[in-house]
Amino acid sequence: PEWETLGSPLPDHGSMLRRASRPLSRAASRRRLYATAPPLPEWETLGFNATPTARMIRYNWSAERGWDAGESSPEFTVTIHGLSNVLHYGQGLFEGLKAFHCKDGLVRVFNSHANAARLQSGAERLAMPVVPPELFDEAVDRCIRDNVEYVPPYGYGGAMYLRPFLFGHGEKLGLGAAPHYSFCVIASPVGAYYKGGLEPIDALVVEGFDRAAPRGVGNIKAAGNYAPDVLPSILAKEKGYPVCLYLDAATQTYVEEFSTSNFIGVTAEGTVVTPTSPSILPSCTKGVVLETARRLGMRVEERPVSFDEVGGLKEVAACGTAVVLTPISSVTRGGTVHSYAGFDTIATLYNAITSVQQGEANDALGITRVVAERPHDPPCRDAEAAAA
């Protein structure tokens, strides 16, 4: 396919930001969208599901030209050759991050530099062209601005979830570098994962399946890492466990991570611990959690964590982009159940981070970036707080 003919060239960033900054009524926002754009969702009913938006951002790479200038398109269908690397050899990576409509009316993206660095690491490991950090941020910012009406308004607890992905395509029969690569970003508004506050869940240790092999690709966000977890997750849910916990593949004695989240524990002494291993995916959110804990005066340990320690922990949580922190009420392995009565430390960390995401607290770590301005319309639920 001729990628250059898809969509239309984007305006310069300055004009986009000026346009996004104009006060818009809800009706005007709808008129501003392209005629084919889907309607804005009902903010109160949003869950963590795919919700259509107006535009997708796509950049294309070839050996002759490198990365092109990128396009914004209302077409979300990707057409590739049937012999593309991503379909046969799994040469694909993805990321996940969020943008928030904040208390002051500005739209900020959260911790994007960490996602850009992780995507770069993955591209190097899978022999794909690196997406430079400035191009990553440009693509993310374009996607937010082109879909700014779909960012859930401040006060509803929602966010714009952003899914960057990189894949190899083009006619290629043997294993090797793909002739073409594409880097895309899709946005979807999502609601608050916890409608009524933090809700603990039960975890099941996976027996008979491994998440990642030693010296494999568990430490990058390769698309192929997630398909093997579909079956164990289905089996766990049939037993009443919403999430799986994996141990190290070599010895089955050390904690690795949950299906799609990193492991966080709190000892009886209040130390925040998280396991280290070459096959654990470094969570971008976990880095924020650990640095926040340090700033709050908590002791932090990053080290191998034996499963024998799990029963002695005071609190356990799963850490990831979707929810920041999910308290774990129990961890079951075979006939043994380790239960956790509370999650005060986890709640403290969760509240501290989500306050920064919503623009309600100072960004002491410097991990948010203003992308657009969108005055409160409809007015946020906590109008007095927003005006304060």
Return the higher-pLDDT residue of 67 and 15. Answer: 67
Whether 341 has a pLDDT exceeding 70, the answer reads yes
Band of residue 351 on the pLDDT scale cut at 50, 70, 90: very high
Whether 382 has a pLDDT exceeding 80, the answer reads no
Band of residue 349 on the pLDDT scale cut at 50, 70, 90: very high
Band of residue 381 on the pLDDT scale cut at 50, 70, 90: low
Question: What's the chain's average pLDDT?
Answer: 90
Q: Quick one: tokens of 184?
A: 């895309």
Between CA 76 and CA 6 the distance in angstroms is 11
Bridge pairing between strands 201-205 and 106-110: unpaired
Q: Looking at residue 388, what is its pLDDT?
A: 45
Q: Looking at residue 7, what is its pLDDT?
A: 42
Q: Where are the alpha helices (DSSP H) in the chain?
A: 13-21, 26-32, 85-88, 112-125, 133-146, 230-238, 284-295, 344-357, 383-387
User: Comparing C-alpha atoms, which of 190, 201, 224 is closest to residue 322?
Assistant: 190
DSSP 159-196: EEEEEEEEEEESS--SSS--SEEEEEEEEEEE--S-BT
What's the whole-number mean pLDDT along residues 251-256? 98
pLDDT digits (tens, 9 = 90+) for 48-63: 999 999 999 999 999 9
What's the whole-number mean pLDDT along residues 145-153? 97
Whether 2 has a pLDDT exceeding 50, the answer reads no
Q: Quick one: tokens of 40?
A: 């804005």
Q: Looking at residue 165, what is its pLDDT?
A: 98
Whether 286 has a pLDDT exceeding 80, the answer reads yes
Q: Looking at residue 113, what is its pLDDT?
A: 98
Q: Which distant-in-sequence residues (6+ apart) come within 8 Å of 75 by Cβ?
A: 6, 7, 56
DSSP at 127 = T
Whether 284 has a pLDDT exceeding 70, the answer reads yes
Tell me which of 33-37, 209-213, 375-379 is least confident: 33-37
pLDDT digits (tens, 9 = 90+) for 214-224: 999 999 999 99
Band of residue 101 on the pLDDT scale cut at 50, 70, 90: very high
Q: Looking at residue 196, what is its pLDDT?
A: 62
pLDDT digits (tens, 9 = 90+) for 191-213: 987 666 789 999 999 999 999 99
Tell me which of 42-46, 160-164, 308-312, 367-371 is least confident: 42-46
User: Comparing C-alpha atoms, which of 218, 85, 100 is closest to residue 151?
Assistant: 100
Whether 283 has a pLDDT exceeding 50, the answer reads yes
The CB density around residue 175, as the number of other CB atoms within 10 Å, is 9
The pTM of this model reads 0.88
Whether 20 has a pLDDT exceeding 50, the answer reads no
The CB density around residue 73, as the number of other CB atoms within 10 Å, is 17
What's the whole-number mean pLDDT along residues 119-139? 98
Q: Looking at residue 383, what is its pLDDT?
A: 41
Whether 15 has a pLDDT exceeding 80, the answer reads no
